[in-house]
């Protein structure tokens, strides 16, 4: 053992603490980088030598630069992101729809229905009055306008979902591709030298983002690559060419598949795995849904579900209401007699008609229109008035129409028109409320998970600064060691002179 | 647990957000004066509120129908009062003639008076309201009385005054002056106008038995009109009662509606006070804690 060895140890100290400072600076620089996991140099003693007659280490060296990382937390985060992706997308769409049904704050369809039937009530007081008859026509017009408004608001909401599918899918495909590229980098880097910590962080973060968009599963291979799959639970399993396993691997090492959509609206989405096998279509209406639970489907599933199930369900109810009101009013109007011919009383024509014939009740709210054009076409008189002479002042049929609003016509004779609509208002309210509550829970859960992750992997500036000082002092000490060893050498050399 | 600055800032943001949401919802209630501003605020209350709103609309409609019906019945009553007083005059005149008179001038005078009274009866029978003949039945656009001929009908105009009951709004001229004695609303079977025509002839001819018979018929006719007046009075009374009941119900519903929907300002003001305090505390502690760093001391 020579003085040179002391110099060597000093030098290794200088070098190592410089690296340690670099790691600290990397941590500090990335304090706000999303998905970054803090890193630590793990120091160990260099192999000992026995030159002194006893084993003594030859300084310090870096065992590894490790990152603080919890694989289980990552799994939980991925699941939570998927749930939150689904719920928040659903809540935001529902919140957009809610104002249409906000009967509390402003008069909408519900009050248009009341007003329409009340105008018939007014007509019973003066069955021949031009003003009363005009009011019935006007209220009828307002009612059809309200139906059009609600129905177009719903179909717009549905259209927005449809239009957002393509951007979502291409976003997802980009992320899938990026995961496979990162897989390649990570394997290559780790084959040649240690851990590709930063790239792993990036990949983890990417998978988290991906899982928010669509529900995915992932597993890490021995070579550090991650395989990502989407599970197709729908039955029957696609064709004989497809795999029996419901897992469709969209990333397998550096190979990747994609999500495909059909060209024409309504777009169907399906998964094509890295081998080119196609899954079933993601169909929320199916009895065996693609995703076993809604919340495991992510944002894309929420979009599809809104487009195919939730909005059409509201639409269907509004259609049913429009169809029933039109049907009941028409039937009663046909039973009465209008004022178009005072000599030979003419039975009333349909009050409402449809620009496009609905397949009952589909499309009724969209296509409903006023069929009558003149006030004398309103059939206020009942059959009892036919005479002769024709009792034009008879308002019994108008009274019958007005009474329709109190009859239990909707829901197979269980509720009135207004009752049915009010039920729909309450249902929308409940849906929005539930969705909002769930989003609140999700964000609390996510916050908890992110806090846990941050607690483990996040950068603490105070900690880094403490380390920085520690390493700085160590660096100074190593430098002092070198100067001391240098001075000792000087002493030796001076002895020789 | 290891706490990093990011955890602190995330938690602070989360809590500020929660606090602000609460503050915002209290503020919205105060500003709008309503407890529920959208169905999702409370779907159950929303269902109740829209239901109550419908009931209020119905009550308003019934109230408006009853008011209009009230006017109609009052016009009818005025017409009937006029008829009744004309009948009174006729009776008075006839009572002077039941023993007959030989003076042709007196008879002639009586005949012309009777003819005037008949015209008055017919005029009352043709009472109009907003272009409609109130005694014309459902044939209300045609003048019902032309001489002694009645060209209206005896059908009822029915209106709804509450969810379960309807009421006849009109009294037909046939029932009052022509003695149509059909159910419902039977007043009597005296054809007053024809009887009056006969009476005029009898007076002109000084036909004593016929004058006596006519006097009896006039007596019956007066009773018939009084019956109609009593019926209209009864209907008006019923309308009053129903109207009062309706407005009672309306007040009750409005009370319930207000109880559910109207914001309790005192309570909200206190909540706002508390929440403001909490929010200020959140802000202040966030500002203090997030500023601290080891860097300040290095």
A207 with A218: CB under 8 angstroms?
yes
Chain B, window 220-259: residues with a beta carbon less than 8 angstroms from a chain A beta carbon: none
Q: Tokens 């000087």 appear where?
A: A490
Question: B169 CB near a chain A CB, below 8 Å?
Answer: yes
Using pLDDT thresholds of 50, 70 and 90, give the confidence band for residue A164. very high
Could you count the other beta carbons within 10 Å of the beta carbon of residue A281?
19
Whether A436 sits inside 8 A of B40 (CB atoms) is yes
Q: What is the reported pTM?
A: 0.83
Q: How far apart, in Å, do the first and last CA atoms of chain A sit?
A: 23
- What is residue B185's predicted lDDT score, i.e. its pLDDT? 74
Q: How many CB pairs under 8 A join A and B?
A: 189
Distances (CA, A) of A477 to A48, B142, B207: 21, 120, 152
B22, B36, B39, B144, best to mutate vs chain A, most A CBs in 10 Å: B39
- What is residue A243's predicted lDDT score, i.e. its pLDDT? 54
Q: Quick one: what percent of chain B has pLDDT higher than 90?
A: 28
Q: What is the token pair recorded at A311?
A: 């909005």
Whether A454 sits inside 8 A of B160 (CB atoms) is no
Using pLDDT thresholds of 50, 70 and 90, give the confidence band for residue A94. very high
Which residues on A lie below 8 Å from B155 (Cβ)? 384-385, 391, 394
Question: B84 CB near a chain A CB, below 8 Å?
Answer: no
CA neighbor of B77 nearest in space, from B247, B231, B239, B204: B231
CA distance B113 to chain A (A): 34
C-alpha B61/C-alpha A406 separation (Å) is 13
Using pLDDT thresholds of 50, 70 and 90, give the confidence band for residue A239. low
Which residues on A lie below 8 Å from B43 (Cβ)? 426-427, 429-430, 433
Question: B99 CB near a chain A CB, below 8 Å?
Answer: no
| Mean pLDDT computed over every residue of chain A | 89
Q: What is the token pair recorded at A266?
A: 């309504």
Q: Which of A275-279, A417-421, A485-489, B251-255 has the lowest mean pLDDT?
A: A275-279
Chain B, window 193-212: residues with a beta carbon less than 8 angstroms from a chain A beta carbon: none
Whether B36 sits inside 8 A of A385 (CB atoms) is no
Whether B5 sits inside 8 A of A460 (CB atoms) is yes
Query: Which neighbouring-strand residues pair with A227?
Result: A219
What is this model's ipTM? 0.81
Whether B68 sits inside 8 A of A391 (CB atoms) is no
Question: B49 CB near a chain A CB, below 8 Å?
Answer: yes
Question: A188 CB near a chain B CB, below 8 Å?
Answer: no
A96 with A157: CB under 8 angstroms?
yes
CA distance B27 to chain A (A): 16
Q: Which of A35-49, A121-135, A154-168, B183-197 has the lowest mean pLDDT?
A: B183-197
C-alpha B191/C-alpha B148 separation (Å) is 9
Q: Burial letters for B192-220: b for 16+ Cβ neighbours within 10 Å, e otherwise?
A: bbebbbbbbebbeebbeeebbebbebbeb
Alpha helices (H) in B131-207, listed in sequence order: 173-177, 192-205
Alpha helices (H) in A193-336, listed in sequence order: 197-213, 298-305, 311-335
Q: Of A125, A432, A433, which is closest to B69 when you measure between CB atoms?
A: A125
Using pLDDT thresholds of 50, 70 and 90, give the confidence band for residue A240. low
Question: B158 CB near a chain A CB, below 8 Å?
Answer: yes
The dihedral through the CA atoms of A64, A65, A68, A74 has a sign that is negative
Q: In which element (H, E) is residue A366 found?
A: helix A364-367
Using pLDDT thresholds of 50, 70 and 90, give the confidence band for residue A329. very high
Whether B41 sits inside 8 A of A121 (CB atoms) is no
CA distance A390 to chain B (A): 7
DSSP state of B178: S
Whether A122 sits inside 8 A of B64 (CB atoms) is yes
Whether B160 sits inside 8 A of A110 (CB atoms) is no
Whether A451 sits inside 8 A of B7 (CB atoms) is yes
Question: A244 CB near a chain B CB, below 8 Å?
Answer: no
Q: Of A102, A403, A429, which is closest to B43 when you measure between CB atoms?
A: A429
Using pLDDT thresholds of 50, 70 and 90, give the confidence band for residue A319. very high
A93, A101, A124, A405, best to mutate vs chain B, most B CBs in 10 Å: A124
pLDDT tens digits for range A348-372:
899 998 988 888 778 888 999 999 8
C-alpha A249/C-alpha A277 separation (Å) is 9
Using pLDDT thresholds of 50, 70 and 90, give the confidence band for residue A382. confident
Q: Of B65, B138, B160, which is closest to A391 when you measure between CB atoms?
A: B138
């Amino acid at each position: 053992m020579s003085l040179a060895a002391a110099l060597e140890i000093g030098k290794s100290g200088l070098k190592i603490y410089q690296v340690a400072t670099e790691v600290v600076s990397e941590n500090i620089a990335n304090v706000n980088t999303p998905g970054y996991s803090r890193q630590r140099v793990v120091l160990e003693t260099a192999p000992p030598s026995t030159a002194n007659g006893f084993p003594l280490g030859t300084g310090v060296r870096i065992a590894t630069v490790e990152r603080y990382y919890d694989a289980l937390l990552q799994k939980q985060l991925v699941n939570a992101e998927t749930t939150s992706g689904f719920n928040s997308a659903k809540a935001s769409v529902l919140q957009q729809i809610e104002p249409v049904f906000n009967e509390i704050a402003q008069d909408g369809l519900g009050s248009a229905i009341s007003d329409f039937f009340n105008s018939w009530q007014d007509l019973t007081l003066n069955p021949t009055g031009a003003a009363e008859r005009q009011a019935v026509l006007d209220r009828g017009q307002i009612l059809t306008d309200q139906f059009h408004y609600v129905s177009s608001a719903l179909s717009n909401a549905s259209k927005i979902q449809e239009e957002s599918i393509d951007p979502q899918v291409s976003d997802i495909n980009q992320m899938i591709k990026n995961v496979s590229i990162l897989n390649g980098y990570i394997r290559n880097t780790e084959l040649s030298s240690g851990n590709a910590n930063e790239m792993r962080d990036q990949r983890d973060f990417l998978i988290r983002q991906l899982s928010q968009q669509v529900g995915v599963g992932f597993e890490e291979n021995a070579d550090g690559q991650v395989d990502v799959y989407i599970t197709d639970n729908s039955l029957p399993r696609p064709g004989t060419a497809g795999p029996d396993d419901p897992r469709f691997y969209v990333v397998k090492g550096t190979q990747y598949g994609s999500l495909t959509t059909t060209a024409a609206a309504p777009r169907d989405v399906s998964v094509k795995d890295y081998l080119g096998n196609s899954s079933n279509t993601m169909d929320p209406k199916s009895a065996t849904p693609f995703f076993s639970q809604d919340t495991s489907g992510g944002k894309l599933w929420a979009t599809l579900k809104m487009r195919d199930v939730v909005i059409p369900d509201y639409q269907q109810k509004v259609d049913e209401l429009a169809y029933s009101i039109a049907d009941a009013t028409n039937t009663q109007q046909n039973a009465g007699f209008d004022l178009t011919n005072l000599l030979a009383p003419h039975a009333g024509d349909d009050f409402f008609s449809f620009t496009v014939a609905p397949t009952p009740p589909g499309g009724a709210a969209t296509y409903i229109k006023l069929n009558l054009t003149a006030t004398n076409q309103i059939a206020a008189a009942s059959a009892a008035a036919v005479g002769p002479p024709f009792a034009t002042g008879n308002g019994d049929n108008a009274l019958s129409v007005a009474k329709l609003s109190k009859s239990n016509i909707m829901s197979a004779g269980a509720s009135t028109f207004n009752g049915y609509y009010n039920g729909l208002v309450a249902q929308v309210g409940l849906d929005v409320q539930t969705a909002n509550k769930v989003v609140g829970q999700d964000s609390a859960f996510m916050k908890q998970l992110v806090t846990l992750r941050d607690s483990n992997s996040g950068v603490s500036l105070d900690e880094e600064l403490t380390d920085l000082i520690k390493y700085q002092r160590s660096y100074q000490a190593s430098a002092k060691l070198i100067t001391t060893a240098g001075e000792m050498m000087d002493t030796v050399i001076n002895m020789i002179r | 647990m290891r706490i990093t600055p990011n955890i602190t800032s995330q938690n602070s943001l989360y809590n500020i957000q929660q606090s602000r949401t609460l503050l915002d919802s209290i503020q919205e209630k105060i500003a709008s004066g309503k407890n529920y501003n959208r169905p999702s605020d409370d779907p159950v209350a929303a269902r109740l509120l829209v239901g109550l709103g419908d009931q209020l609309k119905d009550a308003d409609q019934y109230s408006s129908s009853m008011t209009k019906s009230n006017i109609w019945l009052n016009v009818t009553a005025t017409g009937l009062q006029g008829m009744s007083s004309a009948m009174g005059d006729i009776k008075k005149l006839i009572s002077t003639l039941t023993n007959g008179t030989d003076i042709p001038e007196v008879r002639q005078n009586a005949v012309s008076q009777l003819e005037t009274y008949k015209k008055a009866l017919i005029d009352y029978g043709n009472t109009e309201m907003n272009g409609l003949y109130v005694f014309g039945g459902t044939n209300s656009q045609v003048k019902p009385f032309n001489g002694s001929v009645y060209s209206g009908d005896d059908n009822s105009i029915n209106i709804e005054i509450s969810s379960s009951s309807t009421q006849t709004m009109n009294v037909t001229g046939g029932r009052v002056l022509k003695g149509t004695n059909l159910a419902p609303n039977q007043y009597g079977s005296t054809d007053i106008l024809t009887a009056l025509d006969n009476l005029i002839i009898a007076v002109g001819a000084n036909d004593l038995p016929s004058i006596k018979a006519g006097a009896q018929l006039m007596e019956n006719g007066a009773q018939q009109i009084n019956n109609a007046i009593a019926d209209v009075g009864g209907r008006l009374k019923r309308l009053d009662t129903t109207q009062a009941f309706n407005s009672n119900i309306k007040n009750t519903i409005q009370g319930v509606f207000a109880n559910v929907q109207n914001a309790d300002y005192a309570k909200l003001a206190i909540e706002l006070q508390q929440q403001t305090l909490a929010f200020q505390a959140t802000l202040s502690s966030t500002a203090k804690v997030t500023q601290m760093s080891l860097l300040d001391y290095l």
